[in-house]
Structure 1
Amino acid sequence: MVFKKTYSTLSSEELIAKEKSNMDEQRFQHCIGVSETARKLARLNHYDEEKAALAGFIHDYAKQVPVEEFIAAIKDPANGFDQDLLNWNRAIWHGIVGSHFIERDLKISDDEILTAIKRHTTADVTMTTLDKIVFVADFIEPHRDFPGVETARKVAFANLDDGVGFELAHTLEFLVKQRAKIYPKTIAAYNVWSIKKEN
């Protein structure tokens, strides 16, 4: 895997090495799968394939960062994080707060990439093409295996917006069954992307 442009002072080789050192092998393979899927979705949606592949690759850079590091980053006033984040966990943090670690460690400051990383765990009421690509690629990459994943792939490859809606509906259904707390922004995103339009 080589990135022609890293949006960073790091070379492609340095960036890949840093990513690999920050996670276990299973997570690393997941990131490769998301990168490849993001490239395919970019091609289908006339978006920059290289940028999408890079964003997909680094989306989980902070997934296995220790909890204490997340908490310290959220509490540091210099970072400007909403302190309500302390009421959540790494499932939410690795996107929103993870962008901070990506900017710090991987030297990537491209706003579009960082925003896509922030939104990949929660979605949002407004999403760019790259936001949607990373969000959906994370859900349907080849290593994913859950009931309905083939349907999710067909939907997403046919229409990216429908892919976002399908994923949000599936995720909320799962969280409700688990009686889990749902991040407010995700509920708001569901109301935009997943509600069937009246005829």
Structure 2
Amino acid sequence: MNIDNLKADLKERLTKGRYEHTLRVTDTAAELAVNFHESVENATIAALFHDYCKCDSLEEMKQTIKTSSELPDLLLSFHHELWHGPVASVRIEENYAITDQEIKDAIYFHTTGRADMTKLDKIIFIADYIEPFRNFPGVEEVRETAKTDLTKACYQAAKNTVRFLMERDNTVYPDSFHAYNDLNQHIFGGIKK
């Protein structure tokens, strides 16, 4: 896959701000891939496509969710901000013949996380969270942790996200809870009293 051609496609497809965010996430993901011994090529492809459908209309995304056998209808019961990753994981296969399940999963779960995240899942999840223009409470701590411990950084990000949603009385997609619980188990090793 020619990365320069892909970037040109994305520049046409995304808003200027979304495209620039995508490039920052891609750079961050590539750095994390090097640091944590993951395929830089896979991290680059997944990062470039992570927001591939972010600028699509809600109706287009809804239609893809309804018609794709790969996507659960449950998505439609949650905020539309969660739709673009799963929809992109389907569309990149249709539009670019990308069938690598690990890349597709990293794109699918980049917003919510999930239980048993792969290293690539974690890299895309955290790269999107800590890219250099992100500025919100807790992000600096996660950035610092991501230099040495990918799992702990993902745990911090998942915890911050779940807390943020709950404090605003928003619903939390089940995969976000599963990610938090699984990461907690990996870090703390079980039930705490």
- Normalising by structure 2, report the TM-score: 0.91
SS at match of 2:91: helix
Structure 2 unaligned regions, length at least 5: none
Against the structure 1 CA distance between its residues 151 and 71, is the aligned structure 2 distance closer, same or farther, given a 3 Å change threshold? same
- For 1:1-199, what aligned pairs fall within 5 Å after superposition? 6=1, 11-76=2-67, 78-194=68-184, 197=188, 198=192
Counterpart CA distance in 2 for 1:81 and 1:147 is: 32
Which range moved further: 100-109 or 137-146? 100-109
C-alpha distance in 2 between matches for 1:86 and 1:33: 29
How big is the shift at 1:31?
0.6
1:33 maps to a residue whose letter is R
> How far, CA to CA, are the matches of 2:136 and 2:70 in structure 1?
37
Is there any run of 5+ residues in structure 1 with no aligned partner, and where?
Answer: 1-5
Distance 2:34 2:87 in 1: 29
CA RMSD of aligned residues (A): 1.7
Give me the whole-angstrom Cα distance separating, in 1, the residues matched to 2:13 and 2:80: 15
Give the match for residue 3 of structure 1.
none
| Percent of aligned positions that are identical | 37
Q: Separation in 2 of the partners of 1:12 and 1:189?
A: 30
- With normalisation by structure 1, the TM-score equals 0.88
Is the 1:23–1:64 Cα contact (8 Å) retained in structure 2? yes
Count of residue pairs brought into register by the alignment = 189
The 1:194–1:176 alpha-carbon spacing in structure 2 relative to 1, beyond 3 Å, is: same
CA distance in 2, matches of 1:80, 1:158: 34
Runs of 4+ with deviation above 4 angstroms: none
Deviation track 1:104-136 (CA, whole Å, cap 9, x = no partner) reads: 223322111101001111111111110000000
